[in-house]
Amino acid sequence: MAQGRSLASLAALFALAACGGGGGTAAPPPSTAADAVLSVSLSGGASPGIDHLWVTVTGLAMHADATHVFGDGDPGWIVQTLSTPVTVDLADASSTNNSAVSLFKQSVSTFGSFAQLRLLVAPSDPSSTLASSASAKGLQFNDQVQYTDATGVHVVPLELPDAQAGLRVLAPFNLSSDTTTPLAIEWNANSLVRRAGVGVGADNRFTLRNELQGYNQQLLSALGNSIDGSFLDSISGQLATINFCTGTSHVGCIHDVVASATSLSPDGRFHREVRSVNVSATGAFLLYPLPSDPAYDVVIRGGNMRTMIVHNVIVDPTGVLRPFPTALGSPDTPMVPVLDTTERAVTLASALVPAGSRVFFGQTVAGSGGGGADTPYTIATGATDPASGRLLQAVTLPGGPLQYASFDPANDGNGAAPTFATVTPTEGIGAWTVWSQGTLATTTSAMTTLAAGASTATVADPVPRAGLASGKLTVTLSGTPGNGADHAELIVSNDGGIVAVVDVSSQIASHGGTTDISVPTGESADAPAAAVYGVALRTWAAASESTTVRWIRAGAPTNMSATTTASVSLALP
């Protein structure tokens, strides 16, 4: 019976594709036999603590070789400039829960296989011209973060040290004649890195780790590119909202709830998030798009609630095995989160090296490995300041035991809530497994344990990646800044984010100087372009940081894949 229903469903899908229905985007303009059609959309992700995350996209660049960095002058780059810039709020409720914004959909005359796609974004420097799309939305900067804390609402630029290189997405795809290739990109606010402002009353500032997720939705082109993929390859959910906060106060109520699809990390050591979204005020969420895995473990976490885990949730992007989207609960039969106000804030015992790292807090369920090793689920994370290696904001860890369910394909996924049991993690209630990851040049650290009740975590440093060695990047500054600056810092970054930050304020009075910076060099197939760097200088006056910031960037990337020394010269702006 199930097989017949599945085949009927698939037949209906192909019929739907043939007639152009299904709620998808409109067909692209007619193309010639010599053209391919590329479609790229952008959506946000989980954004707790961030009110708005605006980004302005100006174009796309793609290359067949993942080791190249845009701006290196290689003739293999294919660039598509948007007719008008597109400004997107990635923290908007619609953007974080399956409402993607179309960036690009048109014919492309270049065929072939591509290893990377880059989003080209407008710079957020205060001196940069504000794009028309950003101006139309009333923004101060092309890329902008708005957050609220105890002192009020803050609006600051999203600083991109190597903006001209774009933001890399490693999602292999192919462009061929008379074929539509749909690519979806998730830009999650979890990739934001908070940096300390300098000066009395200075706002925190934000940069990011490049953790963009790319999804090749080629199946949709096989179905005529006219079907809403969330009909098949998605996981929806519904939570009961009886204990949700209804006002600005978060005391004694559930808030900032996030749902994540997780899968085993490439090194097999933990469950990593592959798609995360905010749970709406109505308790609903939709995890889409997703990678091509047939099953995921869904983790639901939030303030003042016990973490919920649904193990081995099945999805079927073909609709053959499962002719309907996977629904965990419905308004009539929702999953019920348990209110628990025993959460606690945790910071680090010491700075991490490299300074620009991310720390992970996880808990483990006995038997969840299915005969293999049981591995911790990522539940909370924090990014360290790349200048200090410390968390500027403590990480809040949920309290209590876990609420755990194993997905039952015979009964679950059709709108009924899975059956949850209260489970003590193998670490113990209130105890955690903790680990870290650094830049592209490192791998996952050793795992340590945070005891129940402890407020300070001792976290091991990320492990240097095999094949890479330490080298020396020499930066020479000259000239006099024109903005009355009394502070300056050199920022070295790669496609993974900031690698090094060096305070060179003392060189302002001396009109320049030379600085040696230790950076990884060499090559690794597991981390393409790990030793290809952008070099930038940021200057400002501490008395008025927001209005005096100036940037100067090296004109081309510095490739240290085959050398242990390199030099760059910059003029004080």
Over residues 104-129, the pLDDT tens digits come to 998 998 999 999 999 999 999 988 99
Residue 15 has pLDDT above 60, yes or no: no
- Domain with 538 in it: what CATH number? 2.60.40
pLDDT tier, 219 (very low <50, low <70, confident <90, very high otherwise): low
Please report whether residue 2 resides in a domain. no
**Radius of gyration from C-alpha coordinates of the chain:** 24
| Residues 156 and 243 occupy one common structural domain | no
Cut 0.85: pTM above it: yes
Within 315-376, strands assigned E span 326-328, 344-348, 358-363
In a domain, 108, yes or no: yes
pLDDT of 262 higher than 90: yes
Ramachandran angles phi, psi of 282, nearest 5°: -85, -5
Task: For residues 295 and 429, state if they share a domain.
Answer: yes
Does an H or E element contain 58, and which? strand 52-63
Enclosing domain of residue 539: 468-571
pLDDT tens for 525-570 read 999 999 999 999 999 998 888 889 999 999 999 999 999 999 999 9
Q: Which of 443, 464, 485 is the last residue of a domain?
A: 464
pLDDT of the residue at 312: 96
| Backbone CA torsion sign across 312, 191, 516, 74 | positive
What pLDDT score does 73 carry?
Answer: 96
3-state secondary structure of 561: coil
Same domain, yes or no: 223 and 251? no
List the helix and strand counts (H, then E) for the chain.
5, 40
The DSSP code for 558 is: E
- Of 453, 446, 477, 465, the closest CA to residue 529 belongs to 465
Q: How many CB atoms lie within 10 A of CB 99?
A: 13
CA 146 to chain centroid: 17
230 has pLDDT over 60: no
Task: Give CA–CA dist 323/328, Å, rounded.
Answer: 15
**What local confidence, expressed as pLDDT, does residue 370 receive?**
73
**Residue 213, pLDDT score:** 87
The pLDDT value given to residue 463: 98
Q: Please check whether residues 334 and 476 belong to one and the same domain.
A: no
β-strand 295-303 against 255-264: which pairing, if any?
antiparallel
Q: In terms of Cα–Cα distance, which of 515, 78, 12, 47 is closest to 223?
A: 12
Structure confidence by residue, pLDDT tens digits, 290-343? 888 889 999 999 999 999 999 999 987 555 455 567 999 999 999 999 999 999
* Domain CATH code at residue 272: 2.60.40.1120
What are the phi and psi torsion angles at 510 (to 5°)?
-90, 5
3 state DSSP class of 482? coil
Q: Are residues 154 and 190 in the same domain?
A: yes
Q: Do residues 221 and 238 both lie within one domain?
A: no
Domain co-membership, 435 together with 518: no
Residues 221, 239 share a domain: no
Q: CB of 423 within 8 A of CB of 403?
A: yes
| pLDDT number for residue 239 | 99
Residue 12 has pLDDT above 50, yes or no: no
pLDDT-derived band of residue 224, with 50, 70 and 90 as boundaries? very low
Tell me the pLDDT of the chain averaged across its residues: 88
pLDDT digits (tens, 9 = 90+) for 406-449: 999 989 999 999 999 999 999 999 999 999 999 899 999 999 99
Co-location of 564 and 499 in the same domain: yes
Distance from C-alpha of 194 to C-alpha of 180, rounded to nearest angstrom:
39
Residues above pLDDT 90, as percent of the chain: 70
Three-class SS of 424-435: CCCCCCCCEEEE
Mean pLDDT of 175-197: 83
Q: Is 222 exposed, middle or buried (0-12, 13-18, 19+ CB in 10 A)?
A: middle
Res. 88: pLDDT tops 70: yes
pLDDT at 123: 94
Instruction: Please check whether residue 1 lies inside any domain of the structure.
Output: no
| Length of the chain in terms of residues written | 573
Nearest Cα to Cα of residue 190 among 392, 351, 50, 399:
50
Same domain, 178 and 104: yes
29 inside domain: yes
| Same domain membership, residue 164 and residue 43 | yes
Distance in angstroms (rounded) separating the CA atoms of residues 287 and 337: 18
Is residue 3 in some structural domain?
A: no
Q: Could you tell me if residue 365 is inside a domain?
A: yes
487 falls within a domain: yes
Tens digits of per-residue pLDDT, 190-211?
777 877 665 555 667 889 888 8
State residue 228's pLDDT score. Answer: 44
With a CB cutoff of 8 Å and minimum separation 6, the contacts of 268 are: 373, 375
Question: pLDDT tens across 540-551, in order?
Answer: 998 888 889 999
Most confident of 44-53, 89-98, 461-470: 461-470
What per-residue confidence (pLDDT) applies to 92?
83
**Number of domains the chain is built from:** 3
41 shares its domain with 152: yes
Instruction: List CB contacts of 35: < 8 A, sequence separation 6 or more.
Output: 107, 108, 109, 177, 178
Burial of 556 (0-12, 13-18, 19+ CB in 10 A): middle
- Report pLDDT for 203: 67
Of 344, 360, 387, the residue nearest 269 (C-alpha): 360
Evaluate whether 307 touches 404 at the Cβ level (below 8 Å): no
Closest CA to 309 of 366, 358, 255: 366
Boundary residue ending a domain (464, 491, 524): 464
Q: Which of 199-208, 401-410, 466-475 has the lowest mean pLDDT?
A: 199-208
Model pLDDT for residues 477-515, shown as the tens digit of each residue: 999 998 999 999 999 999 999 999 999 999 999 999 999
Omega into 289 within 30° of 0, i.e. cis? Answer: yes
Last residue of a domain, one of 435, 464, 493: 464
3-class SS of residue 123: coil
* 273 within a domain of the structure (yes/no): yes
